[in-house]
């Protein structure tokens, strides 16, 4: 998975938040709405999300964490330090002697 540079994400997030404030101040201005939606789309593309709010949240998490912890969080599976793999019960061998 390719991730953008943190400086680029920070710049896109600042732009999105700035347009969000302007949009809230004048919600009926078509030019403002287009610029706000454009900044949201850019953030979605950078963060690989479909919703601008999700993209903004992902960008904030990405900026405050390390790359490894962000990728683990996106994976959604907890990881332990030791990964022990066990065979299914049918393939395990018993250590007890057979009669």
Could you tell me the CA-to-CA distances from 97 to 36, 88, 92, 93, 94 in Å, in that order?
72, 20, 14, 11, 8
| CA trace torsion 5, 79, 49, 20 (10° rounding) | -70
pTM of the model: 0.68
DSSP assignment of 7-47: HHHHHHHHHHHHHHHHHHH-TT-HHHHHHHHHHHHHHHHHH
Q: What is the pLDDT of residue 41?
A: 97
Length of the chain: 99
Tell me what pLDDT residue 97 has: 59
Q: One digit per residue, pLDDT tens: the chain, 99 residues?
A: 678 899 999 999 999 999 999 999 999 999 999 999 999 999 999 999 999 999 999 999 999 987 777 777 777 655 555 545 555 556 555 555 566
* pLDDT for the residue 89: 58
């Amino acid at each position: 998975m390719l991730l953008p540079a943190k400086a680029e994400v920070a710049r896109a997030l600042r732009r999105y938040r700035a347009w969000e404030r302007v949009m809230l101040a004048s919600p009926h201005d078509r030019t403002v709405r287009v610029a706000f939606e454009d900044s949201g789309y850019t953030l979605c593309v950078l963060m690989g999300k479909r919703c601008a709010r999700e993209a903004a949240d992902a960008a904030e998490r990405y900026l405050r964490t390390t790359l490894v912890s962000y990728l683990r969080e996106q994976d959604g599976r907890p990881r332990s330090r030791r990964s022990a793999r066990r065979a299914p019960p049918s393939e395990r061998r018993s250590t007890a002697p057979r009669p």
